[in-house]
């Protein structure tokens, strides 16, 4: 993947400016009749037509070569017609740009109308395989849903979204994608930590790509406004374009709800498996396709702590902490279920919700036993073993990603002391608490049980290693790594972006050429802004 110092991409079929966009969302669903771009309450509509606001001096900073190829298009230069499109400075004749209307429950409370306050969808592209993708600009200017915002985005948050979208894709986790990152040449005023210290920062626009950006809140706002006819039209649209095999009518609605409950459960397993924390799991940030949606104050577990959240806004309640993500996802599904009651029988909703817990539990145990190198789950004994490990990881400051990666190389055919075994995990410890005798005893006991279980299952060391490497990444997008890239970019040096993206292409490999990115968080980053926590502010 090429992301910096953009040059000519060869072998592409079309330039972006020659693409013909389709507009099924606009053409098949009711829109806001008011064409004035002013902040207001919108009713009886799924979207509002709105034009992106031009920026001063757009420059292409980074792009996903793989995603351009998948869409069947190419990018030529750092500036030019394609970059004008990707920044919002040029709208093609086939585009019908819009901002979507939706609502949401934020931190457990109904927030009413939200909508795309700084995102504008340009239209849809059919790739060479015939798959449909929405092309959306984030940071492209004000919309009727901007509330008190300016519709813009700062460079730091835009870079985080660009990198994390692609990181999750390479980890094999369902996600929206990021096509490009364009600096605008304009400054944006932001109060990063809501402490009264607003500053001007460089602006940027991210081009996001997904089959659909529909979310739970898209249905909630219609139900809350008793716009049941539009609610049904929206669900029919979703099924027609993304689940056509389900047919039509109530049974199709039920099948989709069943499927989204299942997909959401599996998405939570993926997040837990790699230590990803979304940070702001409001219902307006939950995808109707089961994708990871909206990268704001996200983070990756470093010290294993189920109560950890990267979101400064959530520090008082830890509602969206790592360990709470599965139950919050279910809560969000119940909100979606309530919005569907006007058009779907309660029995279908209950059946859908009932699949969530067993789907999650089965997939979670399978994923974590694979992380341990176990092919089979043998009931309560194995669950106790997993639970004891989680207690060990909490007992001392242990890096989640590194511990499992180091476990791959645990020797099985040597008689080693507990001290020798612990020494193999030193790169994962953030302090010297592992020297405590109580921890040594617990660790030694767990290791003995783990080795016995591993030897008992009879899986040869090579296959065990391959199994564990497939699910235990060596490289996750730690916040401090992105902050370093942000700091370097502020001085005009974009090389770290390229280095990170090169590593993210193979997150499950050993990556000797990027070994500095596979180490635990340095101590200087423990409390540094942008490294330890983020706010909801862009």
Which of the residues are catalytic? Answer: 284
Q: Where are the alpha helices (DSSP H) in 155-248?
A: 155-170, 216-224, 228-242
Please, are residues 65 and 178 in contact by the beta-carbon 8 Å criterion? no
Residue that is written with structure tokens 């585009």 in the block: 95
Nearest to 333 by CA among 529, 154, 105: 105
Cα separation, 43 vs 222, whole angstroms: 9
Alpha-carbon distances of 96 from 20, 47, 101, 127, 339, rounded to whole Å: 11, 11, 15, 18, 28
- The pair of structure tokens assigned to 429 is 């410890």
- Helix, strand or coil, per DSSP, at residue 277: strand
Q: Please give the full DSSP string across 516-528, using - where no structure is assigned.
A: GGSSPPPGGGSSS
Q: Are strands 199-210 and 177-190 parallel, antiparallel or unpaired?
A: antiparallel
Cα–Cα distance between 3 and 284 in angstroms, integer?
A: 30
Q: Is the dihedral of CA 219, 222, 225, 226 positive or negative?
A: negative
* Residue whose C-alpha is closest to residue 143's, from 22, 284, 42: 42
| Token output for 223 | 């139900």
Write the CA distances from 80 to 27, 75, 76, integer angstroms.
Answer: 30, 10, 8
Supply 488's token pair: 């370097």
Report yes or no: 176 and 292 within 8 Å, Cβ to Cβ: yes
CA distance linking residue 407 with residue 427, whole number of Å: 12
Q: What is the gyration radius of the CA atoms in the chain, in angstroms?
A: 24
Task: Give the span between the Cα atoms of 146 and 69, in whole angstroms.
Answer: 33
Strand partners, 188: 201
Q: Strand 109-113 and strand 103-106: pairing?
A: antiparallel
Distance (Å, rounded) from C-alpha 113 to C-alpha 398? 42
């Amino acid at each position: 993947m090429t992301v910096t110092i953009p040059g000519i991409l060869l072998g592409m079929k079309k330039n972006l400016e020659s693409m013909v966009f389709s507009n099924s969302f606009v053409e098949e669903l009711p829109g806001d009749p008011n064409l004035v771009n002013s902040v207001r309450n919108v009713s009886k509509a799924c979207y509002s037509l709105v034009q992106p606001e031009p920026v001063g001096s757009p420059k292409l900073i980074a792009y996903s070569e793989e995603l351009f190829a998948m869409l069947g298009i190419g990018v030529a230069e750092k500036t030019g017609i394609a970059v004008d499109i990707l920044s919002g400075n040029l709208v093609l004749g086939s585009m019908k740009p819009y901002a979507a209307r939706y609502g949401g429950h934020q931190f457990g409370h109904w927030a009413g109308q939200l909508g795309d306050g700084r995102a504008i969808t340009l239209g849809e592209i059919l790739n060479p395989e015939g798959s449909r993708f929405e092309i959306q600009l984030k940071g492209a200017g004000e919309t009727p849903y901007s509330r008190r915002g300016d519709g813009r985005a700062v460079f730091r948050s835009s870079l985080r979204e660009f990198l994390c979208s692609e990181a999750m894709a390479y980890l094999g986790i369902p996600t929206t994608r990021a096509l490009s990152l364009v600096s605008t040449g304009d400054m944006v005023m932001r109060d990063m930590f809501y402490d009264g210290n607003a500053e001007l920062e460089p602006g940027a626009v991210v081009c996001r790509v997904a089959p659909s950006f529909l979310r739970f809140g898209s249905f909630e706002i219609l139900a809350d406004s008793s716009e049941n006819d539009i609610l049904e039209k929206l669900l029919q649209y979703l099924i027609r374009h993304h689940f056509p095999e389900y047919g039509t009518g109530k049974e199709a609605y039920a099948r989709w709800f069943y499927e989204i409950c299942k997909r959401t459960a599996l998405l939570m397993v993926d997040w837990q498996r790699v230590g990803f924390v979304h940070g702001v799991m409001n219902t307006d940030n939950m995808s109707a396709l089961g994708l990871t949606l909206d990268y704001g104050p996200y983070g990756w577990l470093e010290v294993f702590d189920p109560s950890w959240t990267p979101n400064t806004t959530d520090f008082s309640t830890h509602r969206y902490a790592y360990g709470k993500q599965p139950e919050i996802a279910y809560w969000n599904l119940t909100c979606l279920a309530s919005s569907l009651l006007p058009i779907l029988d309660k029995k279908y909703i209950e059946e859908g919700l009932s699949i969530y817990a067993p789907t999650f539990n089965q997939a979670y145990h399978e994923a974590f036993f694979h992380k341990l190198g176990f092919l089979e789950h043998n009931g309560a004994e194995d669950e106790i073993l997993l639970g004891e490990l989680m207690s060990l990881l909490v007992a001392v400051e242990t890096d989640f990603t590194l511990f499992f990666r180091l476990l791959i190389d645990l020797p099985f055919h040597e008689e080693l002391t507990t001290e020798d075994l612990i020494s193999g995990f030193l790169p994962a410890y953030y302090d010297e608490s592992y020297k405590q005798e109580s921890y040594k005893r617990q660790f030694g006991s767990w290791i003995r049980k783990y080795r016995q279980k591993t030897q008992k299952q009879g899986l040869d060391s090579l296959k065990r290693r391959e199994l564990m490497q497939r699910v235990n990444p060596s490289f996750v997008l730690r916040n401090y790594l992105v902050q370093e890239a942000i700091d370097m970019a502020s001085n005009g040096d974009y090389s770290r972006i390229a280095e990170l993206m090169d590593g993210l292409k193979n997150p499950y490999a050993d990556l000797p050429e990027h070994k500095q990115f596979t180490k635990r968080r340095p101590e200087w980053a423990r409390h540094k802004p942008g490294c330890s926590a983020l706010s909801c502010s862009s």
